[in-house]
Amino acid sequence: MEQSLHVYNSMTGKKELFEPLTAGFIGMYVCGPTVYSDVHLGNCRTFVNFDTLYRYLLHLGYKVRYVRNITDVGHLVGDVDTGAEDKMAKKARLEQLEPMEVAQKYTVGFHDMMRLFNTKSPSIEPRATGHILEQIEMVQDIIDNGYGYVKNGSVYFNTRKLVEEGKGYGDLSGRKIEDLLSETRSDLKNQSEKEHPSDFAIWIKADENHLMRWNSPWSVGFPGWHLECSAMSTKYLGKHFDIHGGGNDLKFPHHENEIAQNIGACSCAPAKYWLHTNMLLMNGKKMSKSDGNSITPTELITGDSHHISKGFHPMVIRFFMIQSHYRSTLDLTDEALLAAEKGFKRLMDANRALNGLQSTTESGALDADIRDTIQAAFAEMNDDFNTPKALARLFEIVPKINSLKEGKIKMDQVGAAALADLKACFHAFIFDIFGLEDQAESGSSTGAKALGGVMDLVIDIRKQARADKDWATSDKIRDSLKEAGVQIKDSKEGAEWELI
């Protein structure tokens, strides 16, 4: 049973024992969104995955500084030397807005969505435009250290120098400089300013029409896309920190170039552990707006899409994401979501049933089994955050909880201490670690209270009808309530109800 945390490090391709650089403290940097359009559902998966990871680290008692940036400049569409345009600027031009208006609009939208998915806010959420000075300083350091060269007001990173010095450009993404050299794609040609095809821009001279630009020692321009992460992670987490995360598709070139910049600026690779989440697919393929194989988070929630039969609550979506491992692709299908919805409900019902249990004994026959399963669940999390397996362990206990509730297993089978542990474990996993919320308990408004009062009355009336064997009345109440969206569930202990 693994008791210490192991994580899969993309840099080494192996699971490694997780040891923070400073005992008790963790610095974690995750690449955030570029706020030039509504947040993509795939982004949501990545951020939900890292949120779960963050939550687990907190649960383990670490003091975590979680930094996730907002990219609001420097992210290019197309190629730098062939009429590239900043994503932010392009959107601003199309929508006739100030670039900062675009950034603000989509940042707010992003935060709203993150809130719906119940992700915790990062400790720091720095913006690229708020750190232009730091980026300029970093470019200067890179130049001073001989890793950057200036061409016509733009500054490029010299990747060959890194390779020649054996400092591992390409290690993270498994690329060889020769492969990069022999690149034949036509898109990459015509880069006259670069001395080598694998070099990349760290400062870009802006043309006169460019909306976002700043003064620098080299030109009026803007920073390269990869630079912000290097500058901001260094500023808030130091030159070397514990975890750097992001989507799989950022490995190259983004993370690779980020590492190069850090080495170039301060001779130090930024992170000890690199964690990458895998892609979210839909119907077996990567989501793509161009072939219509795409769904937005909002559509998924409202059900306004031909890909799905109905809308799904954000918590169902989060549960769905937790059912797969962060390093695996996850295939989004209507059927899978429907299954997740039922599974989520079953887990939440069980948790509520668990909280209603009262032990009648000091110790019981099931104690050891319960404790083993709890321990196993945590062991799964320690094995590279294996949420699907941990969840499976929880589900293994669900039949026992339901049996206890219904009296099929006597309460003297579970001791008070074991039951308390079980309640604590379920609470920790469901709410603290998995970050789920119980919809049935979230309605604490006066309306919900009134409904509760009404239901107590209705159930009481139906109880009397059943006692009188007045099945017509009893069934009418049940059927009508179901039509109104309330499900009655009978049991030996009496009837319960829930909103469907």
Q: Rule CB under 7 A: which of 423-452 touch RNA? A: none
Nearer to RNA, 29 or 225 (CB): 225
Assess contact for 28 and 66: CB atoms under 8 A.
yes
List CB contacts of 304: < 8 A, sequence separation 6 or more. Answer: 298, 311
- Name which position in 20, 99, 223, 246 contacts RNA (CB under 7 A): 246
Q: Provide, rounded to whole angstroms, the least separation between the CB of residue 19 and RNA.
A: 21
* CA 48 centroid distance within chain: 2
Residue type, 358: Q
CA–CA separation, 457 vs 17, rounded Å?
A: 57
Q: What is the dihedral of CA 468, 470, 473, 477, to 10 degrees?
A: 60
Per CB under 7 A, contacts with RNA among 323-362 are 323-325, 328-331, 333, 335-336, 338-340, 342-343, 346, 349
Could you tell me how far CA 70 lies from the centroid of its own chain? 15
Half-sphere exposure for 262 (CA within 13 Å, toward CB): 27
Structure tokens at 45: 């998966």
Rounded to a whole number of angstroms, the minimum distance from the CB of residue 181 to RNA is 11
| Least CB distance to RNA at residue 123 (A) | 19
Does 127 contact RNA by CB under 7 A?
A: no
Among residues 127, 251, 307, 318, the one that binds RNA under rule CB under 7 A: 251
User: At CA 461, angle to CA 455 and CA 466, rounded to 5?
Assistant: 120
CA 280 to chain centre: 11
Residues 175-194 that bind RNA (CB under 7 A): 175, 179-180, 183, 185, 187-188
**Binding residues among 9-28 for RNA as defined by CB under 7 A:** 13
Question: Nearest approach, Cβ of 20 to RNA (angstroms)?
Answer: 23
How far is 347 from 274, CA to CA, in rounded Å?
32
Size of the site for RNA (CB under 7 A): 85
Asked if 254 interacts with RNA (CB under 7 A), we say yes
Which one, 20 or 340, has the nearer CB to RNA? 340
| Single residue of 151, 235, 240, 286 touching RNA by CB under 7 A | 286
- 331: its two tokens: 């295939």
188 to each of 156, 157, 204, 345, how far by Cα in Å?
A: 15, 16, 17, 51
Nearest approach, Cβ of residue 88 and RNA (Å): 11
Q: Choose which of 55, 90, 131, 478 interacts with RNA (CB under 7 A).
A: 478
Stretch that binds RNA, among 30-38, 98-106, 110-118, 355-363 (CB under 7 A): 30-38
Cβ neighbour number for residue 444 with a 10 Å cutoff? 8
Extract the tokens encoding 157.
């990173």
* Least distance (Å) between residue 49 CB and RNA: 9
Span 368-387, contacts to RNA by CB under 7 A: 386
Between 136 and 229, whose beta carbon lies closer to RNA?
229
Residue 158 CB burial class (10 angstroms; 0-12, 13-18, ≥19): buried
Options 208-216, 355-363, 390-398, 429-437: segment touching RNA (CB under 7 A): 390-398
**Which whole-number Å values give the CA distances from 156 to 149, 150, 383, 395, 413, in the listed order?**
5, 6, 40, 54, 70
Of the candidates 26, 27, 34, 228, which one interacts with RNA according to CB under 7 A? 34
Segment near RNA (CB under 7 A); pick from 131-139, 280-288, 354-362, 426-434:
280-288
466 binds RNA (CB under 7 A): yes
Separation of alpha carbons 266 and 257, rounded Å: 14
* Out of 130, 153, 168, 253, the residue judged to bind RNA by CB under 7 A: 253
Which of 174, 303, 452, 494 binds RNA (CB under 7 A)? It is 174
- Give Cβ neighbours of residue 246 (< 8 Å, ≥ 6 apart): 30, 31, 46, 254, 255, 276, 277
Exactly one of 402, 411, 421, 463 binds RNA (CB under 7 A); that residue is 402
User: What are the backbone dihedrals phi and psi of residue 289, each rounded to the nearest 5 degrees, phi first?
Assistant: -65, -35
Choices 29-37, 156-164, 357-365, 443-451 (CB under 7 A): range interacting with RNA: 29-37
Q: Residues 66 to 105: which contact RNA by CB under 7 A?
A: 75-79, 87
Smallest gap, in angstroms, from Cβ of residue 322 to RNA?
10
Q: 349 with 394: CB under 8 angstroms?
A: no
Taking the least distance from each CB to RNA, the nearer of 70 and 211 is 70
- Closest Cα partner for 110 from 44, 192, 177? 44
Closer to RNA at the Cβ: 134 or 258? 258
Interaction mask 216-235, RNA, x per CB under 7 A: ---------x----------
CB of 162 to RNA, least distance (A): 17
Q: Are strands 330-332 and 280-282 parallel, antiparallel or unpaired?
A: parallel
Does position 111 interact with RNA (CB under 7 A)? The reply is no
Count Cβ atoms below 10 Å from residue 304 Cβ, excluding itself. Answer: 12
258 lies in the site for RNA, by CB under 7 A? no
CB of 32 to RNA, least distance (A): 7
Q: Report the b/e string of 213-234 with b at 16+ CB within 10 A.
A: bbebebbebbbbbbbbbbbbbb
Whole-number Å distance between alpha carbons of 152 and 219:
8
By rule CB under 7 A, what string of x and - marks binding of each residue 288-327 to RNA?
x----------------------------------xxx--
* Residues 252 and 173: beta-carbon distance below 8 Å: yes
Task: Kindly state the smallest distance separating residue 144's Cβ from RNA, in Å.
Answer: 25
